[in-house]
Structure 1
Amino acid sequence: MVIPLAEKQNFLVPNATFFVELLAFVLLFYLLARYVIPPINKAMTARQEAIRKEFADAEEAKSKANQAEEEFRAQIADARHEAARIREDAREQGAQIIAEMREQAQSEAARIVENGHAQVQAERQQAVASLRAEVGTLATTLAGRIVGESLEDDERSARVVDRFLADLDTIETSEAAAK
């Protein structure tokens, strides 16, 4: 069967196949729009929110890490300042202890020297007293031999010896002043 040219169908006029395809397309579009696309959109939206939340958490963690780092640096700086202060206090205390020990040693040395001077002075006094007694005895004995009489009177001999020693002291002090 040959279709004459005049009877050929016009392609602008839809036929039944077109309407079936259109109906299948609309039905498929409705099903996709109703049951498939909303869960996909919901999953994509949830995924986008999760990504946004992860970025926000990452930013927050980064800011907390920066803040913790700044606090750590501040604590280190404070610790260094505290250590420097403690070292300085220790130096000052050491210097103070050294000064106190020097002062104590000097006072102890002065006390020892003073005790030494006092002991030397006491021994000198003792030696002078002993020498006076011996010189007096010797002088009296010698004077008795020279004079030819005994000068055994203790009072008189003590006065003579004292006067003699006083004269000697006077002579020594005048010679020391002349120098």
Structure 2
Amino acid sequence: MDSSDIGYFGHAVRARRAELGITMDQLAEASGVSRGTLSRIENNALSTSLANAIAIAGALSSDLSALLSPPRATFVPAGDAPTYTDDAGISRTSLARPDPGIELIKFVIPPKATSAQFAAHAESTSETLHVISGKVTYEVDGQEYSLETGDTLTARADRPHRFSNPGGTTCVLHMISASAR
């Protein structure tokens, strides 16, 4: 495998496995590639053989080329991005997933609304928030961070966390959620 493909292959395998909801042990059994080897591949610590790559792709019901090539440009017209609104009225719009483990999200938080407590994400996941308008308080590990329009915060998200809008106007923020590669 070309060295430029190594990093993307590992990320793509992990993402596809997560998408299918299968464990590393299940992938090892289905592909015939040991769990330890799969772990090293997913963590970009090992360049694999073509035979193993083909076996892994087959077990994931994926074309090998899809696991080797970064995605082409993706365009999402305004209004077409999936948006979810919780009971507190907080809306979450997934704007982009440019690479496995990375997501750009837009949150619209009504005045005085508080999110549910988010469970800890995967180890070494971080969230970077940039406040477009309004105010937000981000709480993680017993610490609170108060942000206003134009402020940016990067914090670990591998611990329980939540956010709230303490202000009297709607808060709009963009967040990048990034898991370890």
Indicate the TM-score class for this superposition, using the shorter chain for normalisation.
under 0.3
Q: Which has the higher contact order (CA 8 A, sep 6+)?
A: 2
Normalised by the length of structure 2, the TM-score is 0.13
Which structure carries more strand by proportion? 2
